[in-house]
Structure 1
Amino acid sequence: MRRFVQRARQLRKQQTDAEAVLWRAVRNRSLARWKFRRQHVVDRFIVDFICLDARLIVEVDGATHSMDSELAYDAERTHILESCGFHVLRITNAEILANIDDVMETILAELEHRAFL
């Protein structure tokens, strides 16, 4: 577990441009008062963003996530995270950098949906 925490800290320091943009948009309960954490350990994975109250994970996917091997890994990872009781929402770097407002609307809609489950 300690190695996961150390790796999560390292990832927070080395975030991508898209992760930085999304973090600025969701940190400090700025999205309808929902609390997000970044680079949080769930099971054996470090997820990009998580809202524990809504059991929502937001994964930010870069260009490498379009290769067959990565898609298979992402599908397995999503399956495991969902078996832990979370819903996984995947958003690409391009979507975040091109239109953060639409991304925020998508995340908020998912949060509101999850609030009633």
Structure 2
Amino acid sequence: MSGAEPIPPRYGEGDRAATPRGGGVLNASATARQIAKRERRSGNLPEVLVWRELRKRPGDHKFRRQHPLSELILDFVCLDRRLAIEIDGQSHDHGDRPVRDEHRDAYLQSRGFAVLRIPAREVLRDLDNIIRGIVHACDERQPLHHDATRRGPPPRAGEVLEPA
């Protein structure tokens, strides 16, 4: 059977271009994902202490640790509230780090994230107060998605919401 046409793929296999999936606001580079994975295994004392508390879901908020976003790696993030939490050690006060942190914060804000920077020494001094502050910051931000079971579906195009 020379010249026979190849058998077409089944169930739509191969219909899509061979491009990476995902994208949008939460995409991350392969390098950032690899570094984040390595960083989750390590960590400095303030980050370990904060993670011990955040993994308990205080205030019923879910947090991620060493979360990759584009080329950045966030120390902690609450994706539902679009809140990035950065634990800053002494190195953030020296050299070009303050300027780099400002650019990083501006980039995150352009992606819809608020940034909460916490000095590492404050974590060591008063962890409970830091956790309360993080929960409060999450509570202050509107959730990315509303709970359809409690408030019903979103209004259709052209509908006007009546005050409750």
The TM-score, its normalising length taken from structure 2, stands at: 0.68
1:59–1:90 CA contact under 8 A, matched in 2: yes
Q: Over residues 71-111 of structure 1, what are the superposed CA-to-partner deviations in whole Å (9 max), with x where a residue is unaligned?
A: 00000000001100000000011011110011012111111
Q: Which runs of 4+ in 1 moved over 4 A?
A: none
Letter in 2 for 1:58: I
Distance 1:35 1:105 in 2: 14
Distance 1:10 1:104 in 2: 25
Unaligned runs of 5+ in 1: none
Aligned match of 1:73: 100
C-alpha RMSD of matched pairs (Å): 1.4
Letter in 1 for 2:52: R
Decide which of 54, 58, 82 is 2:109's aligned counterpart: 82
Distance 1:14 1:69 in 2: 25
1:43–1:81 CA contact under 8 A, matched in 2: no
Question: Is 1:103 aligned to residue 126 of structure 2?
Answer: no
Aligned match of 1:91: 118
Secondary structure of 2:60 counterpart = coil
The TM-score, its normalising length taken from structure 1, stands at: 0.94
Q: Over residues 15-58 of structure 1, what are the superposed CA-to-partner deviations in whole Å (9 max), with x where a residue is unaligned?
A: 100000000010042x1110000111112200000000000000
Letter in 2 for 1:111: C
Higher relative contact order (CA 8 A, sep 6+): 1
Aligned match of 1:61: 88
Residue 7 of structure 1, CA deviation: 0.3
* Structure 1 or 2: more helix by fraction: 1
Decide which of 46, 49, 66 is 1:21's aligned counterpart: 49
Rg bigger for which structure? 2
* Structure 1 or 2: more strand by fraction: 1
Question: Is 1:114 aligned to residue 114 of structure 2?
Answer: no
The count of residues paired between Structure 1 and Structure 2 equals 116
Decide which of 72, 75, 81 is 1:45's aligned counterpart: 72
After superposing the two structures, state which structure 1 stretch, 74-83 or 103-112, moved more. Answer: 103-112
